[in-house]
Structure 1
Amino acid sequence: MNNFSDISEQKLISSVPKNFKRVLFVCLVLLVLCAIASLVLGSRVVRLQELLDGLFHPDAESYGANIVRKRVARTVFALCCGAALGVSGSLMQSVTRNPIADPSILGVNTGASVFVVSGIAFLNISAAHQYIWLALIGAAITAVFVFGIGSMGRGGATPIKLVLAGAATSAALSSVVSAILIPRSYVMDQFRFWQVGSVGSGSWSVVLTLAPFLVTGVVTAILTAPALNALALGDDVATGMGVRTGVLRLISALAGVILCGAVTALAGPIGFIGLLATHVMRLVLGPDLRFVIPMSALSGAIILTISDILGRLLGSPGELEVGVVTAFVGAPLLIFLAIRSKVRSL
């Protein structure tokens, strides 16, 4: 592929969306409000003084201040995971030209889970950085497998074939995960949150482990956005504009796999964030990926943080894992999109 900036200079979609500044402002305000709500709300509501002590007085040892400090790391982790999944969903929808592509729908999350659970059960792996590398391998292999199956037969990789291939692969791999976990109670007890996804394990060490993968994936996505705009016009048109479509798809898909694989390794298979975040941004901003991709990061962070807050409130005094909440919201959305768009390609 030629320099990505060459495509940008061609100004495939030259104008900034009219409402971009307004949408950006609203998203930033919501992000701040969600972060504050995540620190305050939960099985125990934190008072204002406890919030201030936890944030600005490290020597404060009150129970509420300690809760705030723990929630800070959890909130940052939720924001990072949501951003990663939002961008991953945008990339997968663009690469496959499938409006309902998402790491969970295409089975990529489940593939990552299989490899990590296998590593825990058979290789006694226990470090977060080891989880991530296994998850990336599993996510990559699953993505290639699903795309290969969906590309077979007449018509190539159509949206409906990719979704069916992803659903079948996800179901099969979920059975493999269950087969590994059920007879091994120690694995089941330690990583049972994987079955639904949770950000409850968020800590600063986990955030630092995720950070390089998040930065790599997001930067790659932003750099490839102009060329992905060309790809949306069709392979022939994109090739005529100087885009090496095969290399572009490989790089973009790899960035998406890195993002969703890293999140799955650390938080479990959280579904529908990429689908919901990207569609919201496409609805309000239009199809230009130069704006949709970074804004999907913001909207994904907001959606996942809100879901985590709802899980804590609805499950009080315990906790309802965030994967349950996102599935409850995302499944009806998927049905609505399938009916309304008739699963047409982008």
Structure 2
Amino acid sequence: MVVGSLVFGGGDGVLTSMLAFPGAALATIAVFALGGGLRGETSHVRLTLAGAALNAMLLSFVSAIILSRGETLEVFRFWVTGSLAQAGARPLHGMAITAILGAGIALILAPRIEALSLGSAVARGLGTRPARIQFGALIAVTLMTGAAVSVAGPIAFLGLMVPPLARRVSGHDLRKELFASAILGACVLLLADTCGRLVLAPAEIRVGIMTALIGAPVFIWIARRLRPGAAA
């Protein structure tokens, strides 16, 4: 949605950044549905595979839209690999507030989400309403994802690489894991961006490429450790 606005609308202001949120909402719902959420059969593996498949499909749409117009090479570079170089031109204050709001919702819902991991029947027995909690979690994901993507573009592998590392640091307390993910994610992103600026200086390797180079081996390692019926 953002790319369509940039290419066909010619703008890159607050309105364009705001289009990231309905786009994030549709993508989140699609991943949840493809991952079996509507049938109550979600799992880490299904959600990861659904997200990877949808990501590939949407990137192909982005490429098709941008490559249809010869003057949009810089837009193409940004929305395929992501970058922090243009962050100053984005509505950072508004996006920061939005991300903090999403994070607050996630922290509030964390204990109930942990109850859902035990299964819908057990969660209901503990007084949790699965549909409401899932809806709240989708809102939190939409707010944080929309804010991040509108500022930095699609940063590959960061969401696949950081949570398993955060889980090792924080244990299985979801609130601690969320805090650890926020800190580790920011550190990994800053490290990748710094390396991308230094490796071929004065040229720059986009941060999305650097996170893919770092994250792909980590993701392969995680996939190799998976066993049938085991959590990621």
TM-score by length of 2: 0.90
User: Shift in Å at residue 123 of structure 1?
Assistant: 2.7
- Pair 1:142-2:27 in alignment: yes
Q: Once the two structures are superposed, what CA deviation does each residue of 1:262-306 show, in whole Å capped at 9, x if it has no partner?
A: 211221100222232221121122110121111211111111111
Per-residue CA deviations over 1:168-202 (Å, capped at 9, x if unaligned) read 32222211111111121333334522210110112
Amino acid at match of 1:180: I
Cα separation, 2, equivalents of 1:152 and 1:280: 25
Counterpart-to-counterpart distance in 1, 2:216 and 2:104: 29
Alignment of 1:179-218 (within 5 A): 179-190=64-75, 192-203=77-88, 206-218=91-103
The match for 2:226 is 341
CA spacing shift, 1:345–1:253, aligned 2, 3 Å: farther
Query: Hey, what's the Cα distance between the residues in 2 that align with 1:131 and 1:251?
Result: 25
Whole-Å Cα distance in 1 between the matches of residues 165 and 38 of structure 2? Answer: 33
Q: Do the aligned partners of residues 165 and 225 (structure 1) sit closer, same or farther apart at CA in structure 2, a change above 3 Å counting?
A: closer
2:195 is matched with 310
Structure 1 portions without partners, runs of 5+: 1-114
Of 163, 170, 173 in structure 1, the residue corresponding to residue 55 of structure 2 is 170
Q: Match for residue 4 of structure 2?
A: 118
Alignment of structure 1 residues 45-64 onto 2, 5 Å = none
Counterpart of 2:22, as a letter, is I
**Cα distance in structure 1, aligned partners of 2:35 and 2:114:** 23
> Aligned Cα RMSD in Å?
2.3
Shift of 1:150: 2.8
- What is the match of residue 231 of structure 1? 116
Q: How many residues matched?
A: 231
Q: 1:190 to 1:173 in 2, by over 3 A?
A: closer
Which whole-Å deviations, capped at 9, do the CAs of 1:322-343 have from their partners, x for residues lacking one? 1111101111111111110237
The structure that has the greater radius of gyration is: 1
1:330 to 211, 215, 230: 215
Q: Do the aligned partners of 1:131 and 1:266 also contact (CA within 8 Å) in 2? A: no
Distance across 2 between alignment mates of 1:160 and 1:211: 30
Local SS of the residue matching 1:185: coil
Distance in 2 of aligned mates of 1:240 and 1:162? 25
Corresponding residue number in structure 1 for 2:147: 262
Cα drift, residue 234 of structure 1: 2.0
Counterpart-to-counterpart distance in 1, 2:169 and 2:83: 29
Deviation at 1:153, TM superposition (A): 11
Q: Is 1:283 equivalent to 2:175 in the alignment?
A: no
Deviates more, 1:193-202 or 1:153-162: 153-162
Structure 1 residue identity aligned to 2:49: L
Q: Deviation at 1:236? A: 1.7
Query: Which of 156-165 and 196-205 deviates more?
Result: 156-165
